Chain A
């Protein structure tokens, strides 16, 4: 429970930031620091149990179908990482207020940092692969947010960091999926407990993918370049995420999964090889930097490499060394970042070539920096010394052959020599030498205190390392249950490790003393082009590839899009003809003489439509096609369909006239004539296929079962006589509701398109009521049409009619009014308004649908509403009324918006 509480506590802290910030401003960091301390104290209450080799855990069912649970678990390893997250986090929170300027927005920063701490805690507590993955990605995303905050120049580094770390996250997911599939569980403790269950194939794949995640997150070569780039973030972010915690997530993952993969040689070799190569390269690059933050960034890369390399060794001692050095590095590196932030703040620069002689004005800062740098360089009595001794010892005693242990040790010593040299340069360059700037002061104690606490802690922790011992030993045993390592001690006696430390100091001093000569050598050393440019080139290539793929779908008109599907129709038709062959003739006669008349008429009308060049002719012929078809619909026994189509055609024609009447009589098109030959051939081909498909696939069956059911049972079940209408409002009411919602969306979409695009058509010349004939017709017809509309609606259940048809008739009246009174400021039938109609229609339909649910019947189940007397109202009629209102709403808003000359805006176009 305590684990879940601590996670919730972090989220709660983040949630209080906006409110606290209103009162405290940037000082909100102090209560947050206290909050972190409370969380750490809560976790520490379980320390006795943890030391007793117990674990704290809790689990909820999350995705039972996948056997995934939200399981949290804390052992000593998790506890150490959690304490680093909360401890360093608390110091950073106490440091940030003085670092920030008094004005400006700090809420996002504090919220993101606090959430980030929560995500890190979740990552180290997670006891389920998927949960671990989720927290892993959360830290990547929050790191992206924190790097990219408030600076345009930060976009590129932030994107680099996100792409690299979340790319590794994807690899992690793939690796986890392999584990879950081959082991049948996502429970981490169960997976780790039985490494022998994993077959070697999946193990190789999963371990490679997990290593990729480790190397990207912990900035190992060749993925290290994102970390120096991330230094563009403000110093608290760099200190917390990119020195102390987030980059340690990779370390945690490597340690955790060493229990599973540690016995496999490729795992060890990859960790040792990549880690130590990174350690040397990072230290070498750090030595070439002048910017203090860049120097510290490459230093972090190098130190992470050292850690990764030691994890690969795989003895109890090496695990203990890695854990100890993780804590040490978090302490001294966060301190150095904080101090560099202070120097930058006070002296206005963090360039080694500009800074000099700060020790006179800033003695406390100088001392603290020197202490932290001693830790970095591995000088006694600091914890850095103890940690590095442990690393040397573990490497020199590495199993797997003499050449491995010797090479590993040599590389680690080389990295440490370089580290010593740049640590010395840092301290000497900034604080020694003649002072160049005047008027510098020691920062206020409140600014310095968090860094000072960490620096002193890193120093005294060396001699007091015995206090940490039991927890570290326990954690090493959690990482790899293979026996207790030797107790940690400050003084081991005269060992190989001590000799190596002495060597490091000697060679480091030499490197530092002859720095003018060696600097030239280092700066001139040929280096490969920065990895970031390779990454950018690859990334650019990938984007270019995507661009080329997408280019096929980016075209000027619709024709290029449609060619592919149309050709596919041709292909399908040809394939069907070839494969199926001739089909039998349908029984009975499907064609009546009247059909042929309709066909002949349509051939003529459509022929005219295709070649028509006048706008008016095009619109009239389009309407005529619809009229002829609706006549045909009557002859095939579909009167409802016919009436609906008729009304739709009338309304479409009205709306088209409203839209296009600015220029009646003008040709439809006078643009460059596109070659029509190919279009005609393609169209003819598709038409033939469509006709053949229709002929081949229809007309060969008996009355279908649903049709029989509707014909026999519709009236007894619903009381309605018109079966088509009954199907729409009773049997398939959900379809109809969805359809009405589509119309509502169209109405809203029209509003959005026309209002934002500023539909400012040209103002009409002439008096508002120019059209005498239409005006008269409208005045006479509108009331009649509204009455007919009501009548058609009311009889819908029994005869031809219903909500659609009634609403279309009413809409026609509105449209007619707009044709007649174009340009008038008072819209005809102005009391009919789109949005109220829409809302009331939708609410009515939904109410009718939901009412049965209240009494425990299915959604939209039909029922009867009792009225006074012998009457009752079928729910279908009410539902149909909702449909009526929504359809009318569409017509009204279409006519209003498309028909009025200025849309909503009546002022002149600007």
Chain B
């Protein structure tokens, strides 16, 4: 078992756990961790025996540049989605504060949307 594999396992387990825990912010953080896990997986697909940065200077014992390009793309895409999820979180929080502007309300901001929606339906 290589260190990279253990990293993937660790990040995946933590990501899955957080995603399953219900609150919106934890869902987003779980998503970020799962993204990290995939990035590590992509890089280790490039065989981590070669670790010299891939700059063109004639040598062939360089890190595989193609998985790195993929990883870079993946990072930026998951950044975009994270931002979007945060936007949704923001909307949910705003909805709650519009409907119930009571500052003494004790609930954290993250679990509000589902509660508000429940109340609307009943």
Q: Chain A interface (Cβ within 8 Å of chain B)?
A: 556-559, 562, 566, 586, 588-592, 595-596, 598-599, 602-603, 606, 609-610, 615, 618, 622, 625-626, 629, 632-633, 635-641, 644-645, 648, 651-652, 655-656, 659-660, 662-663, 666-671, 674, 676, 679-680, 682-684, 686-688, 690-692, 694-695, 698-701, 703-704, 706-708, 710-712, 714-715, 720-724, 727-728, 732, 735-736, 739, 742-743, 746, 749-750, 753-754, 757-762, 804, 887, 890, 894, 897-898, 903, 909
Contacts and interface: CB of A to CB of B under 8 A. Distances in A.
A666 to B, nearest CB: 5
Nearest to B17: A683
A42 to B, nearest CB: 58
B36 A629 contact: yes
Contacts of A639: 53
A695 B71 CA distance: 18
Interface string B22-48: 110111010011001101110111111
Contact of B60 (A556, A711, A736, A753): A711
Contact of B98 (A666, A687, A700, A758): A758
A761 B7 CA distance: 38
Contact of A668 (B17, B33, B77, B110): B110
Interface of B: 1-23, 25-27, 29, 32-33, 36-37, 39-41, 43-56, 59-60, 62-66, 68-69, 71-73, 75-77, 79-84, 86-91, 93-95, 97-98, 101, 106-111, 114-115
Contacts of B52: 637
B66 A707 contact: yes
Contacts of A753: 84, 87-88, 91
A637 B62 contact: yes
A694 B39 CA distance: 12
A222 B88 CA distance: 51
Given A644-B72, A668-B26, A721 B55 contact: yes
| Main SS class of interface, A | helix
A909 B5 contact: no
Given A715-B56, A761-B90, A669 B26 contact: yes
A757 B99 CA distance: 12
B75 A648 contact: yes
A895 to B, nearest CB: 9
B100 to A, nearest CB: 11
Contacts of B82: 652
A469 B28 CA distance: 79
> Among B4, B36, B52, B88, which residue has the most Cβ atoms of chain A within 10 A?
B4
A558 B14 contact: no
Contact of B90 (A622, A638, A663, A754): A754
Nearest to A669: B23
Nearest to B40: A629
A742 B12 contact: no
Given A668-B26, A679-B21, A898-B87, A711 B68 contact: no
Given A557-B114, A669-B110, 13 more contacts: A610-B14, A632-B7, A659-B86, A671-B22, A671-B115, A691-B10, A710-B66, A739-B73, A746-B81, A754-B90, A758-B94, A760-B94, A894-B86
A688 B9 contact: yes
Given A648-B75, A723-B65, A735-B73, A599 B10 contact: yes
Nearest to B88: A753
A164 to B, nearest CB: 35
A370 B41 CA distance: 86
A626 B75 CA distance: 11
B54 A724 contact: yes
A692 to B, nearest CB: 7
28 contacts: A557-B22, A557-B27, A557-B114, A559-B19, A595-B2, A599-B3, A599-B6, A603-B10, A615-B25, A637-B51, A640-B68, A641-B72, A648-B75, A652-B83, A662-B93, A663-B108, A668-B23, A668-B108, A669-B110, A687-B16, A690-B8, A694-B41, A699-B44, A711-B65, A727-B69, A728-B69, A739-B77, A750-B83
A664 B109 CA distance: 10
Residue in A590, A638, A663, A760 whose Cβ sees the most chain B Cβ within 10 Å: A638
Contacts of A722: 55-56
A728 B73 contact: yes
A556 B24 CA distance: 12
Contact of B5 (A592, A666, A691): A691
A260 to B, nearest CB: 56
A618 B29 contact: yes
A720 B84 CA distance: 34
Contacts of B94: 757-761, 903
B72 A724 contact: yes
Given A670-B107, A711-B54, A687 B21 contact: no
B97 A761 contact: yes
Specify which of B37, B86, B87 lies most central, judged by the most chain A CB atoms within 10 Å of its CB: B87
Given A641-B75, A660-B25, A753-B87, A626 B66 contact: no
A618 B2 contact: no
Contacts of A558: 19, 27
A856 B89 CA distance: 48
A648 B76 contact: yes
Contacts of B8: 690-691, 694
Nearest to A712: B60
Nearest to B45: A698
B72 A686 contact: no
Contact of A746 (B16, B36, B80, B101): B80
B80 to A, nearest CB: 4
A680 B17 contact: yes
Contacts of A629: 36, 39-40
A588 to B, nearest CB: 5
Contacts of B12: 683, 686-687, 690-691
Which of B15, B41, B48 has its CB near the most chain A CB atoms (within 10 A)? Answer: B48
B5 A762 contact: no
Contacts of B68: 638, 640-641, 724
A739 B5 CA distance: 27
B90 A898 contact: yes
Given A603-B10, A695-B2, A804 B72 contact: yes
A732 B69 contact: yes
A112 B50 CA distance: 69
Contacts of A679: 16-17, 20-21
Nearest to A623: B32
Contacts of A694: 2, 4-5, 8-9, 40-41, 44
B109 A666 contact: yes
A690 B64 contact: no
Nearest to A638: B68
Contacts of B21: 559, 669, 674, 676, 679
Contacts of A903: 94
A699 B54 contact: no
Nearest to A910: B98
Contacts of A591: 2-4, 48
Contact of B75 (A645, A663, A687): A645
A668 B24 CA distance: 10
A660 B109 CA distance: 8
Contacts of A671: 22-23, 107-108, 111, 115
